[in-house]
Structure 1
Amino acid sequence: VWPSLREKHDEFMLRELVERWGNYKFMVGTFYRVSHSLDLYFIARRSLPHLTEVGLTCFRELVYQESKVKVRDAVISLIDQEREGKQIDRALVKNVLDLFMEICMEQMDYYKNDFEAALLKDSAAYYSRKASKWILEDSCPDYMLKAEEYLQREEDRVSHYLPPSSEPMLLEKVQHELLSVYASQLLEKEHSGCHALLRDDRVEDLSRMFRLFSKIPNGLDPITNIFEQHVTAEHTAFVKQVEDAADSK
């Protein structure tokens, strides 16, 4: 199996892996059914590992351990391509990630250590690059529109091919890079930040701001401070207007 994988790259390598893994599971399952009585009596009495466990161990040591880095990088590359708008084979990605879990007999250790950690690191770097560009080019409302859209895409990504357990950590990484890192700069943008949105009564944009910043720790605190400043300034201006009107009579 490994020699055939070694000769292929990227998506072609992933397809070969999924096919080989499926064939291997079928072969092990067939062998188990044929040798069921042996597995049931001889192996059990001698406290030896079951045939299916031996088959899984062989694949893990001879194929998975040799290919896991190459496979991980190929999958993350596909995910980044999808983030950039390219259509990818989501079923293929899911099948590969299922292998990361099946190879550890449905436990998550291999998935978490060999894939998830790298995905989270890559996601943080990807959105750090995006945010550093958006904060310079976009108004606060436009930035928030993009942030909300990309967060929704990540949620959709989890629902299609990532395990549900990855969602909290993945979204936390994205929210940190898009919102926490640039919170002050975003909220205080001179012509489009929170002050401007309150002044111009931009209800939809303010609602989006509340939705986004309520997701991050203490995210609403600076918005509350700006709102209090706005109310105080409006009150002061109103009082002065009333006083000026009274003086002019």
Structure 2
Amino acid sequence: MILKYIPLDEGMMIMDEAIVKAKKIIEGYPETKFSGEEYQRFYEYPLCVYFMCTYHSSNEKTMQLYEKFRNSLEESIFSTVLPTLVNKQGANLLREFVVIWSNYKLMARWLCRFFEYLDRFFIPQHIELESLNGISFSCFRDLVFKKLYCRLIEAALTLINQEREGQQIDCVLLKNVLDIFVEISDYKGVNYYEDFERIMLTEISGYYSQLASEWLLHDSSAEYVQKVFWCLNREKQRARQYLHPDTEVKIVQVVRYHLLDQIADKLMEKRQAENSGMVTDYQVPINLQMSNFIIVA
């Protein structure tokens, strides 16, 4: 391959053309593909970024290319990603979020290829600079994910509660969303899935604490224990469909605590009262561990 001089302005124009093509991916054009001729022009020949960094070797010029990469991502986020998601709610928000994240990653991979020279040679010489892949994650995380995080959690919890109440939900969608929580968490060490899990377990605690009170008032002790079995099995199935494997154990512990451990003495009293034909009063809580009822989780 013969290297040729490319003026900086001309090189920037060529890269702009490639960036515009890549941005169409996030705009939802499924037919957006780079032909072999286009890829050769934008990347292999004349290797725009390499030539511009080589012939315009000052750090200032190379830093312009580094910032151009970041700016390209931010422009796509502000022009396409946020306007697409900002007015969405509930399951519609989750669906759009999954699609946008997939398209964004594909666009970012193309841009990383175009600017690969920076990753190989420029960034390693400047340890304070983030890698291109790191920039792509941090831009999405800081400008999109953090902005929508509370709404995403709310939408995900709504689906879980609907499914717990017997409604049909899109479990694949829910799993995809929670997988993104894990994926984004893995990059910088901030565990967004664990935050979601903590909020979910708090809601589950309140839900089963209320159920325990209602069942004690209206069901026999045998019916109560049957319902506990059913709830434990359903929560296990639910967790295996769309939650992280470690979450299943935590959910089972929460359910057991509120349906069994916390009301153990009341349930014992209720069974004894049933056997003697008496009526119980459960206005004062008694927090003792269950000794005669054993449920295997």
Instruction: Check if 1:25 corresponds to 2:105.
Output: yes
Instruction: Check if 1:184 corresponds to 2:265.
Output: yes
Instruction: Check if 1:112 corresponds to 2:194.
Output: yes
Deviation at 1:36, TM superposition (A): 2.4
SS in 1 for 2:186: coil
Deviations 1:92-140 (A, max 9, x none): 1111111111112355611112x11110111101111211111111111
Query: Who is 1:219 aligned against?
Result: 290
Query: Who is 1:9 aligned against?
Result: 89
SS in 1 for 2:176: helix
Query: Who is 2:209 aligned against?
Result: 128
Structure 2 spans left out of the alignment, 5+ residues: 1-80, 277-287
How many residue pairs end up in the alignment?
A: 201
SS in 2 for 1:7: coil
- In structure 1, what is the Cα distance between the partners aligned to 2:185 and 2:108? 16
Instruction: Check if 1:98 corresponds to 2:169.
Output: no
SS in 1 for 2:166: coil
- In structure 2, what is the Cα distance between the partners aligned to 1:82 and 1:144? 22
The alpha-carbon distance between structure 1 residues 9 and 163, as it changes in their structure 2 partners (threshold 3 A), is same
Deviation at 1:154, TM superposition (A): 1.1
Aligned 8 A contact 1:128 1:177 in 2: yes
Aligned 8 A contact 1:155 1:167 in 2: yes
Aligned 8 A contact 1:141 1:192 in 2: no
Query: Who is 1:240 aligned against?
Result: none
Instruction: Check if 1:171 corresponds to 2:262.
Output: no
Question: 147, 155, 158: which one pairs with 1:77?
Answer: 158
CA RMSD of aligned residues (A): 2.1
Structure 1 spans left out of the alignment, 5+ residues: 197-216, 225-249
Give the TM-score normalised by structure 1.
0.75
- In structure 2, what is the Cα distance between the partners aligned to 1:49 and 1:93? 31
Aligned 8 A contact 1:139 1:192 in 2: no
SS in 2 for 1:181: helix
Deviation at 1:190, TM superposition (A): 4.4
Deviation at 1:143, TM superposition (A): 0.9
Instruction: Check if 1:89 corresponds to 2:160.
Output: no
Deviations 1:128-181 (A, max 9, x none): 121111111111111111111111111112211111121222211111111112
Deviations 1:184-211 (A, max 9, x none): 1212224686x68xxxxxxxxxxxxxxx
Q: Structure 1 counterpart of 2:89, which letter? A: H
Query: Who is 2:72 aligned against?
Result: none
Query: Who is 2:146 aligned against?
Result: 65
Give the TM-score normalised by structure 2.
0.63
- In structure 1, what is the Cα distance between the partners aligned to 2:131 and 2:250? 36
Query: Who is 2:130 aligned against?
Result: 49
SS in 2 for 1:72: helix
More helix by share: 1
- In structure 1, what is the Cα distance between the partners aligned to 2:190 and 2:207? 25
